[in-house]
Amino acid sequence: MKKVIFYFTIMISILCLALFYYSNKRIDGIYVKVIEINNYNNGKDFIRDSQKIVKIENQKIVSYHFDYSESNDFYVIGNIIKQELNFDEIGYLNYNIKAVNKDSLVLTTNGINKQKKVFLRLPDSLKNSSNFKNKLLDKSFKLVSEYGIDTVHFNENFLLNKIPLGIEKKWGITSLTYDTIDNFQILNTGMSRFFIIKENNNRVFLYLPSFDKTFKQVELIEIQVDKSKIRETIENHLKYKNVW
């Protein structure tokens, strides 16, 4: 009888370890947060489009922001993620795993301010075997997508795009960083928008994560432009920035 109890205990322990391992591994992946919904006391939903790259692996959540990243430890019990709080806070922040799908992860929180966070999983098909940063730097491209045609220029620190201003188009400018996360080539425009770069049959595409859990495709076609206007735009931007 003692042997039966002993073996039964061993089997239960192995099963618990297997379930713990599965609970943690099933959500592993690299995601981009495409939407966050906050429900406050008045019952109204506040929807925020605040994209963020998140890597979940080996009980760590790493969040990649525009110019920094942060890492938090966590563990999963059933459908609850218990994440350690940073900034000298005591205790854990709990997330309910509402759904784990092949292409997405949905988390919710309880309490006074209920939250719903929808993450879109980055598919392996968007990985690259080489770094495209050098292929983009100091070059201009025509962007072709279902939304129309635009013109952009890639600088080391800035992304410039043609914007309507009066009767003509002038160059607009925003900050830009280039990141590589597990062979995903990612452009961060500094406006909480991420683009994934992917080469396909010698053609270069940008993929924009969307609310409908898809990636909108934009093709880059290299063109020649007047770079004196680009230099002027960057110089004016830096002058204005230094004033403030």
Task: Write out the chain's pLDDT in tens, 244 residues.
Answer: 555 454 444 554 444 433 344 445 678 888 887 777 776 555 555 555 556 788 888 777 777 665 555 666 676 767 777 766 554 444 556 778 888 888 888 888 776 667 788 888 899 999 987 777 888 899 999 988 877 778 899 999 999 988 766 666 788 888 888 888 888 998 887 666 788 998 888 888 989 888 777 888 889 999 999 889 899 999 988 887 654 4
Report the distance separating Cα 186 and Cα 32, nearest Å.
Answer: 11
Report the distance separating Cα 16 and Cα 182, nearest Å.
Answer: 30
In angstroms, the Cα distances linking 19 to 12, 14, 77, 191 are: 10, 9, 9, 40
CATH match for 125-243 among 1.20.58, 2.40.30, 2.60.40, 2.40.128 = 2.40.128
- Answer whether 76's CB lies under 8 Å from 94's CB: no
Report the distance separating Cα 182 and Cα 30, nearest Å.
Answer: 9
Which residues in 86-101 are b (16+ Cβ under 10 Å) and which e?
eeeeeebeebebeeee
Q: What are phi and psi of 157, to 5 degrees?
A: -120, -5
| Amino acid symbol at 82 | K
Report the distance separating Cα 168 and Cα 170, nearest Å.
Answer: 7
Q: What torsion, rounded to 10 degrees, do the Cα atoms 134, 137, 140, 143 define?
A: 70
Q: Specify the domain boundaries for CATH 2.40.128.280 within the chain.
A: 26-121
Backbone region of residue 120 per phi and psi (left: phi > 0; alpha: psi in -120 to 50; beta: other values): beta
Cβ neighbours for 39, distance < 8 A, ≥ 6 positions apart: 45, 46, 113, 114, 115, 116
Structural tokens at position 59: 């009980």
Please state which CATH number belongs to domain 26-121. 2.40.128.280
Structural tokens at position 173: 């400018």
Report the distance separating Cα 104 and Cα 92, nearest Å.
Answer: 24
